[in-house]
Structure 1
Amino acid sequence: MEERNLTSVTEVILLPVTSIAYFRVVLFIVFLFLYLFTLLGNLCIMAVVITDRRLHTPMYFFLGNLSFFDIVYSSTTVPKMMVGLAKKVSKIFLKSCIVQIFFFHFFGCTEALLLTAMSYDRYVAICNPLRYNIIMAKNVCFQLISTCWMVSFGYSLTHTILISKLPFCGLNKVSHFFCDIKPLLQLACADTSLNEILVVFITGFIAVSTFCLIFLSYSLIGTHLLKIRSSTERRKAFSTCTSHLIVVLLYYGPLTTRFLRPATNDSLEQDRQTAVLYTIITPVLNPIIYALRNQEVKMSLRFRMLKRKFGRG
C-alpha cells in the first residue's frame, strides 16, 4: 500500500469538467447561459405564484418552493464549477468544502422530499377532490414544508459532522468539480467505512422511500383514473400530474444511480458526468416544463406580459 504524506490538508483543489481548453470556454458560455436561465425562469415562476392570487393554492405553493430550491440547489455548485472552467483548477478551503457538502445535500434532500409532498397533493386533488381544501389546508402545507426542511437538516448535518471529524492528508485534489462526500472521502487518511455505509444506507433509504411514496401516489391516482368513464375527464385529471411526473423522472434518474454506486475510480468519473444533469440541466428544465405544460401558469405569464405592454402604451 502506498504511504501517504501526512501533511494536513487545509485547501482542496477541484478539477474542471474537462481539461481541454477549447471545451472549457464552450462549456463556460453554455453553463453560464443555462445558470442565468435557471435563475430567471425560477424567479419568474416564484413571482407569478406569489403575486397572482388565483395561484394561491397548495399545488402552486409547492411549485414556488420547488423553484426556490432549484435556484439555491444549483447556486451551491454551479458558480464554483464555472470558476474551475475559467481557471482550469478551482481551490477551496477544506472548511468551505465541508460547508458546500452540507448545503448541497440539504437542498438536494429537501427537493426530493418536496417532490414527494407534491405527489401527495396530486393524489388528494384527484382521488379526494371534495375534501381537498380541508386535507390540504394552509397549516398542513406549512407542516409538510417544515418537515422537509427538518428531515433534510438532520440528514445533511449527520454527514457533515462525520466528515468534519476525519483527518485529511496527502493529495488534495478532489476528482469532482464541486465538493461532495464520496470524492472527499478519497482524501481521508483514516477509516471511512462508516461514512460510506451511511451514504449508501441513509441516502439510499431517503431516495428509495420517497420514490416508493411517489410511486404509491401515482398508482392510486392511476387506479382512480381507470374508474372514470369519460376519457376527456381522465385526460384532464392526469394532465395536472404530467409536469410533476416528468420532473420526478428527471430528478431521480441520475441521482439514485449516483448515490447507490460504490466509490470506485470509474464510478467517480461517472458521477462527474451525471452531476451535470441534476445540478444544471434539471433546474433549467423544471421552469420550462411547468411553464409549457401548465395552463394556469401560462395564462398568468401572458396576462402580465400584456399588462406591461398596454401599461407602457
Structure 2
Amino acid sequence: MDAPYKKALWKKYKSFCWRLISNASAGDKIQAVQVFGRKKTATAVAYCKRGRGLIKVNGRPLELVEPQMLQAKLQEPILLLGKERFQDVDIRVRVKGGGHVSQIYAIRQAISKALVTYYQKFVDEASKKEIKDLLVQYDRTLLVADPRRCEPKKFGGPGARARYQKSYSFAVAMGETEFIWAVKNGDLDAVKQAIEENGLNVNGAYQGRSPLHLAADYGHVQVLEYLISKGANVEAQDKHGMKPLLAAVLEGHVDCVRTLLEKGASSDGKTPSGESYIDVAEDETIRSLLKTR
C-alpha cells in the first residue's frame, strides 16, 4: 500500500469519526457526573454515567481492590442501597494519595456521592433524597468529607497510643475533667456549676479543643449559648485548625450553626484542607444559613 493511498484512507477515517461525534452531539447528550471523595490525603475521583452496573477502581473491578480485608467497607454503598440502584450506571474511580485505608474510605465516599449526584441530575429528586437519607442515616462520612487530621508525633514525645487510653477511667490522665464530660453530655447545670463555682476557664484547651468546640460537635445548643454568654471565643481554633462553626457544620447541627452565626462567627472560614464551609455542608438548611451571612 503506497503512501498517498494510506494518507487518503486515513483522511476518510478521520472524517468518518468526526461525523459520528457530530451525530452523537446532535442527539442525546451523555448523562454523566463527576464527583470527589476524600479521606485524609487520599483523593478519589468518580465518573458516573448511564451504563449497566459496572464499577471499576483504577481500571480494576471493585471486587479486586486491595486490601481484601476492607472489601466489606468498600462494598457498603452497594450492600446498603442494593445492586438494583447501580444496575443502570457505570462508575469509574481513579484514586491516589494516602494509605490503603484512606483510599478505601475515599473510594466508598466517591461512589456514594456519584450515585446521589447522578440521581439528582438525571433521575428524580425523590429517589435522590431516599438514597441520600439511607446513606446519611447509616454513616454520614459516605457523603461528607472529614477534614480533620491526626496530630503528628512530636520529637521526644510518646508514640501513637503508647501512653494514654481514651476511656472514662483515664479521664484525669487525659485532661478531660468533669466539666468537659458535662459539656459533652449537655448537662447545663453541671456546666454552670463548674464555671460559676469552680472557676473553670471557658476558653481552656482540653485535648486540644475548647468547650465550645465540644458543645458544637455534640449539638448541645443550650450549653453553647451559655458558654458564649460567659465569654467563650466563637472564632477559637482547635489543634486541627477547626473553629466551632465548622464542627457544627460537619455534624449537621442546624441550631448550633444558627446560634454561632448570630453570635458573630464568620461563615467565610476554610477547612484545614482549604474547602469552604458551604462546600462541606451537607444539610440544605445549613447551606442556606451560611449563604445569607
Query: Under a length normalisation based on structure 1, what TM-score does the superposition of the two structures give?
Result: 0.28
Q: Which has the higher helix share?
A: 1
Question: Rg larger in 1 or in 2?
Answer: 2
Larger RCO: 1 or 2 (CA < 8 Å, sep 6+): 1
Query: Under a length normalisation based on structure 2, what TM-score does the superposition of the two structures give?
Result: 0.30
